Amino acid sequence: MSGSFTEFVAEDSALAWLEALDSAVPYGPDFAVGEPGAVRSDPNYRDVLMSRWPRDAQGRLARVAALSRVVSRGVRARRAG
């Protein structure tokens, strides 16, 4: 079946989207078990939830949302003035 939606397509699309947003896209082996940037502790990949990343992302998104609100208010104030 041509045009099927596979895990590779989803992953490749997500990585391209992140790169387009100028987000850092790390190389997998750089954060594997035993490496300084490891996000897993189980070498058999039984720890499937990497809780640090969502927490870190939530903090970054909150800062972006706050900045967006400030900019929007400034634009509206300038248009009104």
Kindly report the pTM of this predicted structure.
Answer: 0.41
**Res 35: pLDDT:** 86
Distances, alpha carbon 5 to alpha carbons 12, 20, 52, in Å: 11, 21, 29
pLDDT at residue 22, rounded to an integer? 83
Element (H, E) at 52: helix 52-80
- At residue 19, does pLDDT exceed 80? yes
Task: Determine phi and psi for 11, rounding to 5 degrees.
Answer: -65, -45
What is the DSSP secondary structure assignment for residue 28, as one 8-state letter? G
